[in-house]
Amino acid sequence: MRHGETIWNAEQRLQGHDNAPLSARGREQALAFRHLLQELGPKAVVSSDLGRCRETVALIGFPDAPADARLRELNMGEWTGHSKPDLIAKYPREYWAWRAGTHHPKGGERWQNFRARVEEALRDWLARADGDLLAVVHSGVIRAALSAFLELPQARIVPVTPGTATMLQFDDPFGGDVKLEGYNLGLFAPESAEAVPD
């Protein structure tokens, strides 16, 4: 699950390792997601250690779920706090290369390193779970997981809407077949067709 919308998401500002609290809409998204969880019934829950995920995981009913720093969003370096429209206006080539995973802003994290840490963390938690695992994370973490587990190129994966689920089925946490069962699943419709960056 991607965390609920934050104030910075609503302003289209990149958060990375920084934080902004959930907006009123983000809290509603998290609360609406509880209904879906009643049907899914995960056996284990983990989240990123960043505040927006911790706030979301508490709202969906798992305030004591463990936090893992390996599930943090991509570090966006000097672009942290900047708005998507401003970055596109000032650095269009670099912005779209970043979205494709071939550029990183100064002080930011390289896509391949990010993807590797996300894969390691999720495989670790899957191995510990005795059944379905719910990870409350970030848009970039979900895209990194799809890239790692399904070999999808970063440039081909659209951002994930806040407060929605992506479902993967694993034959084995350390190998075997992985299937995408759902993407951007939620009970709370987004205001626009385009999800805002994390």
Q: Which residues are catalytic?
A: 3, 73
Point out which residues pair with 68 in neighbouring strands. Answer: 48
**How many whole angstroms separate alpha carbon 58 and alpha carbon 22?**
12
Q: What is the DSSP string of 31-99?
A: HHHHHHHHHH--SEEEEESSHHHHHHHHHTT-TT--EEGGGPPPP-GGGTT-BHHHHHHH-HHHHHHHH
